[in-house]
């Protein structure tokens, strides 16, 4: 009987997989089905994209030195600043616009080309100023080379907005993943030969070149330079708000990178940026996917406080249940992961990884508030909190960095984020009419679960041999052990305290 039931479950699973594949590659269905299909494709894209980028980072970290990453970081900061402070919001305006957008494509593409040419010119001719500002002459040629990457982005077919507008995320997946794969292959193969930061430059240029070509293959419609002032003004009326938000977010998320590169140098910047990538996995991956799912749901529930509160607490519970143990795992395995996969030359950044893991944890909880605040029509509140965080960071970053180096920089980032995210959480509690006590209880149990799991894992690490071979075995065993203990403690929480985290996750997804 048990055998027959198991066989039935296996057959049902096979049917489900076939149905899922058919569902993913079909274009028919209601709007709800298209949204669901798009959500699955976005999730798959993010897994593949981050997976390939992670492999690329590990290989390049082995082949190159921290200063190489720092020099590339300076060039990328320059390009990122120019992109952030010149955002037009044209693509977002096209996606948001009701009805057809075919007549707007030439105007939108012309604006994109003009903007790209301007950024490329500034990168090329302003590169010596960048080198002087950071006192790193080696960053000048890298910055100039990125001008070519911006040109390829500028001439990319503007019709790629149809992928999102029409919810054709299978095309978005192809468009993005081919570019990431090209970046990986080019940068790694070049790094093996050159052993210089130019490998990362060539990879970035190659990835954008491939995307540019592929955009015209997927979207064969012709474009021409044409600027209709009425259409441009209409698009700008929406896009200008994207510009303001993008500039502020850049200062908050990359202002610390600029400071480290300017005051502490390229090598420290290389350490700091690598530590950020590793430590912020819970915040950048889990919360990004969940917020994309929950924003439209909150918008529909904004007039029903009871359902809004229930939905928000489920999202908060799920986020805490996923983010806390991930952060704990990153914290305890940071030294071992760095030594095994990146090499001893990266070991100075381990304390920074561990501190920024706390920041990632705070961000993951704070990020649950953004969709609910925005969906209820209060985006100006988020802007005020972002300004507050930026001011706090500006006051703290210099004295702490001068005293403790990049460890002090990471402490400044954590302290600045605590105040802003606490205010955001308080606002979300008010909007959903949820008590502060219930909010604390919701995140308290995952915190206890994760702390217990971390203590067990640290106990395991303490009594093992610390050789390289054993280190790799220990690393693998620690992850397995961590997962088992987390599953056990979370199960006990569910049973003994009726926390129902697994039920919330199932309902959410």
The pLDDT tens digits for 348-366 are 999 999 999 988 888 888 8
- Helix (H) / strand (E) element for 1: namely none
Rounded CA separation 244/385 (Å): 14
Please tell me the predicted confidence (pLDDT) of residue 230: 75
pLDDT of 135 over the 80 cut: yes
How much is the mean pLDDT over the chain?
79
More reliable by pLDDT, 321 or 246? 321
Which among 409, 398, 402, 394 has a CA at the least distance from the CA of 351?
409
Query: Does the reported pTM lie above 0.85?
Result: no
Indicate the pLDDT class of residue 3, thresholds 50, 70 and 90.
very low
pLDDT of 9 over the 60 cut: no
State the average pLDDT over residues 431-456.
Answer: 82
Say if residues 157 and 223 touch (Cβ distance below 8 Å).
Answer: yes
Say if residues 353 and 275 touch (Cβ distance below 8 Å).
Answer: yes
Q: Which of 226-235, 298-307, 414-423, 451-460 has the highest mean pLDDT?
A: 414-423
pLDDT of 288 over the 60 cut: yes
Helices 379-404 and 229-259, packing angle to 10 deg: 30
Indicate the pLDDT class of residue 121, thresholds 50, 70 and 90.
very high
pLDDT in tens, 73-87: 999 999 988 888 877
Indicate the pLDDT class of residue 165, thresholds 50, 70 and 90.
low
Per cent of the chain over pLDDT 90 is 30
Please tell me the predicted confidence (pLDDT) of residue 144: 95
**Own/partner long-range contacts of 471-475 (Cβ < 8 Å, ≥24 apart):** 471/336, 471/339, 471/340, 472/340, 474/336, 475/333, 475/336, 475/337, 475/340
More reliable by pLDDT, 289 or 121? 121
- Helix (H) / strand (E) element for 345: namely none
- 3-class SS at 28? coil
Which among 487, 475, 478 has a CA at the least distance from the CA of 457?
478
DSSP assignment letter at 220: -
More reliable by pLDDT, 349 or 284? 349
Give the lowest-confidence range in 154-163, 333-342, 426-435. 154-163
More reliable by pLDDT, 184 or 508? 184
Please tell me the predicted confidence (pLDDT) of residue 17: 59
Please tell me the predicted confidence (pLDDT) of residue 24: 60
Please tell me the predicted confidence (pLDDT) of residue 97: 63
pLDDT in tens, 370-419: 878 877 767 678 778 888 888 999 999 999 998 999 999 999 999 999 98
**Own/partner long-range contacts of 199-203 (Cβ < 8 Å, ≥24 apart):** 199/60, 199/63, 199/64, 200/60, 200/68, 200/69, 200/72, 201/72, 201/75, 201/142, 201/145, 201/146, 201/149, 203/56
CA atoms within 13 A on the CB side of 40: 13
pLDDT of 118 over the 90 cut: yes
Indicate the pLDDT class of residue 37, thresholds 50, 70 and 90.
low
State the average pLDDT over residues 88-95.
Answer: 69
How many CB atoms neighbour CB 229 within 10 A?
8
Per-residue burial over 437-471, b if 16 or more Cβ lie within 10 Å, else e, is: eebeebbebbeebbebbbebbeebbeeeeeeeeeb
């Amino acid at each position: 009987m048990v055998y027959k039931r198991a066989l039935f479950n296996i057959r049902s699973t096979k049917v489900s997989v076939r149905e899922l594949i058919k569902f993913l590659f079909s274009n028919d269905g209601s709007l709800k089905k298209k949204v669901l299909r798009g959500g699955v494709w976005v999730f798959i894209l993010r897994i593949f994209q981050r997976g390939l980028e992670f492999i690329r980072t590990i290989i390049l970290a082995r082949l190159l030195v921290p200063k190489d990453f720092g020099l590339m970081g300076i060039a990328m900061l320059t390009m990122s600043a120019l992109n952030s402070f010149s955002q037009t919001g044209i693509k977002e305006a096209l996606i948001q616009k009701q009805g057809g957008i075919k007549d707007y494509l030439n105007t939108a593409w012309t604006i994109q080309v003009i903007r790209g040419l301007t950024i490329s010119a500034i990168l090329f001719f302003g590169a010596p100023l960048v080198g002087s500002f950071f006192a790193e002459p080696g960053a000048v040629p890298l910055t100039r080379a990125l001008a070519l990457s911006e040109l390829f982005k500028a001439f990319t077919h503007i019709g790629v907005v149809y992928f999102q507008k029409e919810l054709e995320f299978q095309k978005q997946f192809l468009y993005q993943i081919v570019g990431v794969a090209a970046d990986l292959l080019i940068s790694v193969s070049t790094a093996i030969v050159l052993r210089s930061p130019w490998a990362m430059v060539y990879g970035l240029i190659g990835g954008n070149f491939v995307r540019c070509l592929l955009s015209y293959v997927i979207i064969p419609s012709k474009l021409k330079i044409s600027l209709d002032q009425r259409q441009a003004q209409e698009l700008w009326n929406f896009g200008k708000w994207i510009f303001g938000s993008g500039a502020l977010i850049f200062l908050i998320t990359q202002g610390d990178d600029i400071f480290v590169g300017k005051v502490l140098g390229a090598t420290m910047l290389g350490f700091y940026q690598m530590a950020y990538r590793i430590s912020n996995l819970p915040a950048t991956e889990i919360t990004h996917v969940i917020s994309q799912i929950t924003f439209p749901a909150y918008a529909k529930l904004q007039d029903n406080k009871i359902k809004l509160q229930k939905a928000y607490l489920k999202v908060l519970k799920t986020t805490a249940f996923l983010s806390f143990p991930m952060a704990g795992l990153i914290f305890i395995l940071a030294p071992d992961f760095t030594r095994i996969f990146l090499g001893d030359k990266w070991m100075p950044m381990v304390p920074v990884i561990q501190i920024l893991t706390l920041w990632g944890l705070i961000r993951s909880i704070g990020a649950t508030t953004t969709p609910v605040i925005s969906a209820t029509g209060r985006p100006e509140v988020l802007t005020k909190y972002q300004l507050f965080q930026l001011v706090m960071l500006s006051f703290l970053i210099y004295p702490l960095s001068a005293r403790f180096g990049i460890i002090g920089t990471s402490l400044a980032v954590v302290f600045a984020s605590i105040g802003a995210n606490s205010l955001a959480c308080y606002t979300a509690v008010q909007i959903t009419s949820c008590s502060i006590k219930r909010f604390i209880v919701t995140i308290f149990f995952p915190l206890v679960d994760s702390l217990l799991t971390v203590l067990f894992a640290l106990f395991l690490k303490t009594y093992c041999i610390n050789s390289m071979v054993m280190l790799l075995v220990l690393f693998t065993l620690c992850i397995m052990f961590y997962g088992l203990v987390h599953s056990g403690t979370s199960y006990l929480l569910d049973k003994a305290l009726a926390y129902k985290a697994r039920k919330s996750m199932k309902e959410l997804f």
